[in-house]
Amino acid sequence: MRALLVFIGLVFSLAAFAQNKVDSLLKLCEKADDIQKTSLYLQLSRITIQDSALSNFYNKKAYRLAVANEQMPEQAKSVYQSAKIQFTAREFTEAIKLYEQAIPLYRQINDTTSMTTCYSYIGISNFNISKSKEAIASYIEGLKLSKNDPDYSAELLANIGLVHDEMNNSVEAINYYKKALKINKSIGDSGSMAINYDYLGISYNGLKMPDSAVVNYHKALHLFKKMKKKDRYAVSLTNIANVFPNYPDSLDKAITYFNMAWAQFQELGWLHYEADILLGIANVLVKKGRYDEAISSLKKSIELAHRFNRELLMKKQIHLALSEVYQTKGEYKKALDHHILFTQYNDSLFEKQKYEQIANLEKQYETEKKENEIIRLHAKQELTDIQLSKNKQLKQLGFITATLLLIFVFFVLMKYFEKIKSNQLLEEKNQIIEKSEQELRILNAAKNKFFSIIAHDLKNPFHNVMGYSYLLSKDYDKFTEEERKRFAVDINQSTNSIFRLLQNLLEWSRSQTGRLKFTPLEVEFKRVLESSVSVLHALAEQKKIKLIYSYREDIKVFADPVMIETVLRNLINNAIKFTPEHGTIEIAAVSLGEEVEISVKDTGVGIAEEDLQNLFRIDSKVKRKGTNNEDGSGLGLILCKEFVEKNQGAIRVKSNLGEGSSFSITIPSRALA
């Protein structure tokens, strides 16, 4: 059962995580920045390690982010995780290369614990591919780093013992196991003590000391059961089963223990152990004289060894067992065939190690060859440099005169270009001054407009409200019902005027101070229009104005809904203000491919041609009363222009005195590239 020992020191960390855990980490990735994503992707790689492709996918994402953001600890962890993925997939040669790449990264961040872990796994990987000397060398490197960590030191000592056991150095192995056991007892590590007892049982069994082996196995079995370590408990059951064939009266007990161990391995999902179990059962069946059943068990064992990539070592043992069974049965031809196969697998192990030694020598030769080639090239380069130096000295004299001439020309050109540059700077400064003056004029006009609105446009409707409310509060009973109704209408108009003016002032001030949030999105024109008109229906009904709508219900615009509502509200409010009673206002929207044209056309008083050019200027003096003497500040149209242009659109107006006006805007129908 030597193949079983190959995997005793192996740590299988294939934890099964629920899908909701993966989903929750992916949701966190959507909101996380790149620094946080590195750790999240590493977590995803760890919990999906049973799916090597998916685990590699997340790990590569983590590594790219770690390199891009110079996260050295995460780079080391990612390389280590790559090694762990290969180790879990039993690709031990690739795992060794990656663990070796992780060590210098951990050294840069002074993480000796992780370096020790890497050396430990390199040793385990070498052990699994029958490279005993390399395994011991790695464990010793780990021991050098783990002097202050007794737990790790004990584990590495036990692993060295395992390698000696595999090399049939059982006495040396027992010495290392006892050293490890002594450390584990001193720190009270029951789990590691149990493993040490298990290893001691293996070594004593190898020395044909079954009583000592059984005693140590039972100590291990007791501790594993107490700690509910099902994996180690299963291994100990197998080990005890392998001892019982030494006692002729315990053969049935051996088979019972093998079956108990296999039940545990199935529960753990460690199906590759079935080959070991069948090999052990076959050895028992041979001792019971049930040769045909033993042969059947061994043949199935060899199929499983092939399936789980345990070719050389496992098949070597199985063919040896088959050879001995057939020899016992007197079938010498088959016995010879299997003994030949045993010899071939045994030689293959030796040849594999020999090939690797040759490969290393060839690699060393190639390295030395390249070094010699580099030395030769350096020597050739030195000769070339000497010749070039001579040629350079000869040319230098000729270059000196040309250089002096070039310096003179350079200074002349420099003075010329400095003059040109000075003129350009002067021109640029003049342009900056002119631009500043223009901006100051606009700012001054904005200030004047603001104070004008505060001083006049806001004050007048307040006077109306205050005046009428004062009269009503003092002499309410002296007025007729018709007069009181007229006062109420005037108060209502004044408060509406104040509200609209304040609303425009607030939006304009937010726009001017940069506090206006611009959030464009695709929105139905119908919804924007309904929101805009909802507050204006009452005004239109007061003047008996008919509102006509013309648009397709599926028309959409890509704009900030609040801004476009403000534009429509101002345009429709102006149309109501300057349209006499019983007039009409048509609101239309037409799709023009990548744009939508929205128009507000009224049958109002119209606008004089000289005023059309100044409607959208902050410094303009265009202010008119409505058909029912409604006040206006001129701020609404300025706000409309700003908001439309903010949404990558344009605003136009057509009007004739006495015939009405038509305001139209164009805005995108979808997001522009």
CATH number for region 1-139: 1.25.40.10
pLDDT computed for residue 443 by the predictor: 55
pLDDT computed for residue 358 by the predictor: 37
pLDDT computed for residue 557 by the predictor: 93
Give the Cα separation of 652 and 665 in Å (integer): 6
pLDDT computed for residue 373 by the predictor: 55
User: Cβ contacts of residue 518 below 8 Å, gap of 6+?
Assistant: 560, 563, 646
* Strand (E) or helix (H) holding 589: strand 584-591
* Strand (E) or helix (H) holding 207: none
Burial readout 271-299 (b: 16 or more C-beta within 10 A, e: otherwise): ebbbbbbbbbbbbbbbeeeebeebbebbe
Whether the Cβ atoms of residue 603 and residue 657 lie closer than 8 Å to each other? no
Give the Cα separation of 436 and 430 in Å (integer): 10
* Interval 118-129: pLDDT, tens: 999 999 999 888
Query: Where exactly does CATH 1.25.40.10 map onto the chain?
Result: 1-139, 149-252
Three-state SS annotation for 85-106? HHHHCCCHHHHHHHHHHHHHHH
Angle CA(116)–CA(122)–CA(124) in degrees, nearest 5? 105
pLDDT computed for residue 459 by the predictor: 56
pLDDT computed for residue 273 by the predictor: 84
CA terminus-to-terminus distance, the chain: 70
Angle CA(457)–CA(463)–CA(465) in degrees, nearest 5? 110
Give the Cα separation of 492 and 539 in Å (integer): 10
Ramachandran bin of 498, using left for φ above 0, alpha for ψ from -120 to 50, beta for the remaining angles: alpha
Beta pairing, strands 660-668 & 650-656: antiparallel
DSSP 545: P
**Neighbouring-strand partners of residue 591:** 596
Sign of the alpha-carbon dihedral angle for 523, 524, 529, 535: negative
Of residues 221, 285, 233, the one with CA closest to residue 263: 233
With H, G, I as helix, E, B as strand and everything else as coil, classify residue 60. helix
CA 101 to chain centre: 23
Beta pairing, strands 595-602 & 556-559: unpaired
Q: What is the dihedral of CA 135, 141, 146, 147, to 10 degrees?
A: 120
* Interval 387-402: pLDDT, tens: 676 677 777 777 787 7
Residue 105's CB is within 10 A of a number of other CB atoms, namely 21
Sign of the alpha-carbon dihedral angle for 452, 454, 459, 465: positive
pLDDT computed for residue 377 by the predictor: 58
Give the Cα separation of 85 and 80 in Å (integer): 9
Query: Where exactly does CATH 3.30.565.10 map onto the chain?
Result: 517-668
Q: Measured between alpha carbons, how far is residue 251 from residues 258, 265, 288, 300, 437 in Å?
A: 11, 21, 7, 21, 108
Topology given in CATH for the domain delimited by 517-668:
Heat Shock Protein 90 (3.30.565)
Give the Cα separation of 396 and 581 in Å (integer): 97
pLDDT computed for residue 6 by the predictor: 33
CA 434 to chain centre: 51
CATH number for region 149-252: 1.25.40.10
pLDDT computed for residue 517 by the predictor: 79
Where the chain has pLDDT below 70, the residues are 1-19, 310-313, 348-387, 389-390, 439-461, 463-464, 493-494, 496-497, 500-501, 503-516, 618-623, 625, 629-634, 673
Give the Cα separation of 407 and 339 in Å (integer): 91
